[in-house]
A and B are shown apart, each in its own frame.
Chain A
Amino acid sequence: MKKFITIIIALLTIQSASAWSRAIHAGIAAIADANLTEQTKEAISQALDGRNIVYSAQWMYDMEKTKGYEQTKNWRSVAVAKNNKPLNAKKSLNHKEDIVRRAQGLEALAAAIRAIEAGGLTKEQLADNIRYIVTIVGDLHCPTHYIYPEALELRKMHYFYNDKKQSYTGYWEHSSIAGTFNWKTNEFVHQLNRKTPEQIAAITKGSITNWVTKNAAEYRNIYTLLESGKKFSQKGLRVWQNSIYPISTEQAAIAGYRIAAILNGLFDSNVANVKIK
């Protein structure tokens, strides 16, 4: 009985401990897919047995319990210093806090990109690395996937609704979009894939490290949007959510364009590579 209850509770909480929800990852991947060049699409289709990247949007999470893929559970977040620059791998791996040691998303992303650039991969290895890019870049645009070692207490922020304690990070990962829109995969594309070429160029300008640094600075602001421990009425919750969904939907769109920029750089000879640093 005890074991059963533990399993049920684990199943109930597992999502809030993970990442952007499955729907958001799929939506982000669909925006990316809509922005791939024909040459990139063709190369990816060959690597993924005719499927597109949307199918694999959360594959990395599905695989983390599979032998050989256990390390991927540490690839969901990134730790940054006070100046918002990513901590180097050595510094973060030796950190006393487990959550910082596990924040290896940027390193994993860089490794996946370098592996594809270097070539010589088996079809399976190529497919794995494409899927890593899709999932990790998605997660690196979820504000709660940024770990600020000097302010780890932010991760304990919470609020109450209907007398139930709710985690703020969990809210971002699931309800920051679903609390306002019931979008399915292609509906993310319909709603968010609306940037002009100039806007896309601005979004994808710079290196991945620049993106992460800029995100890290911007995402600190989300912790000013909630007074931890606040008790919300239905009306209060709605008004509060209205301050969040414009940010989360924008980040989903940006993630989609940036995934496409990375993949187009890797697979289309006419497109410049996105630099890691």
Chain B
Amino acid sequence: MKRFITTLALVCIVGSSSLCFGWGRDAHAAIAYIAERHLTPTAKANIEKCIDGRSIVYYASWLDNHRAENKSWGKLAHVAHYDIATCEPIGKPYKYMKSTINKLKKYRELPDSTVKVSIYHLVHSLGDYHCPGHVAYYDCSGEKPKRLITSSYDIYLKPKKTRMSYHKLWDSGIVQMGQPGWGYMDWGHALDSSVSQEYIDSVTAGSLKDWMKDIATRTQQEYKIYERAPYKDSLCADDELSVVDADMMNDYYEIAAKQILIGGLRMAKIINDIFGE
């Protein structure tokens, strides 16, 4: 009987979540919403004119939802790559984002469809880059960069007594488990009600490259996310996997919250710079 109820409960949970995509959606919306809260009235009006009068939040996960429809959208990578020695961004994700920002600087001269997809890329992928699970490190000392660390491996999540991908934990687990009932407005209100201008200036100073280097440096050195839950072969048994326990999860909530806020503030800076005139 107990087993039956458990099975039924699992069916319920899996059934109700099978059509959802988790953090992706909640954290992306929260980042875009925080960004929207910091837009100048001119920037907000100008960018919304480009996206049929909608909020940028509406499109925060557009790239995740629609990338299967068009090869070029699928190529707009979501995981950022870094040289492990310097923590500087390398490869296509950085290149594409830089190109998107440069493209948008001329938004008045571009076809509407190009502007739209560029905005969708900006409001989605800049959020992704602020997720520690979307940071991959490469050894760049040889001829070709060699992938060293990514979050694509399983860990054992002790509070839920289950194994799951470390990437998925950062993508969909932390935000949902941290504040399961929250919508993006709750996140915006909780994280962004009393942020000082000094803090905003400090996290938005520098260039895209500086920001990405900052994310990679903090993920590796300050947050130490890969040291806390080191890679173990996914073929190993549950009890051999790296364990993420309740204390670590509490730390992770903090990291995620901090990254959501910073991501939103930086997104606002880019949009204000481009669309504020």
Residues of A within 8 A of B (CB): 1, 5, 8, 12, 161-162, 164, 175, 178-184, 186-187, 190-191, 194, 235, 237-239, 241-242
Contact = CB atoms under 8 A, between A and B. Distances in A.
A187 B242 CA distance: 38
A201 to B, nearest CB: 16
A159 to B, nearest CB: 11
Contact of A241 (B15, B19, B186): B19
B20 interface: yes
Interface of chain B, helix or strand or loop or mixed?
Answer: helix
B236 interface: no
Interface in B7-30: 8, 12, 15, 18-20, 25-26, 29
A186 B15 CA distance: 26
B185 A178 contact: no
A164 B29 CA distance: 30
Interface stretch (B39-47, B50-58, B125-133, B255-263): B50-58
Contact of B54 (A8, A162, A194): A194
Contacts of A1: 1
B54 A190 contact: no
A1 B2 CA distance: 12
A118 to B, nearest CB: 40
B25 to A, nearest CB: 5
B55 A191 contact: yes
Given A182-B25, A182-B26, A238-B65, A190 B57 contact: yes
Interface of chain A, helix or strand or loop or mixed?
Answer: helix
Interface string B46-74: 00000001110110010001101100000
A162 B20 contact: no
A181 B61 CA distance: 9
A234 B1 CA distance: 32
A178 B1 CA distance: 32
B19 A242 contact: no
B18 A182 contact: no
A178 B19 contact: yes
Nearest to B12: A12
Given A161-B18, A190-B57, A183 B183 contact: yes
A237 B19 contact: yes
A186 B183 CA distance: 9
B184 interface: yes
B65 to A, nearest CB: 6
Contacts of B69: 239, 242
Contacts of B57: 190-191
Nearest to B60: A181
| Residue of B4, B19, B184, B185 most packed against chain A (CB within 10 A) | B19
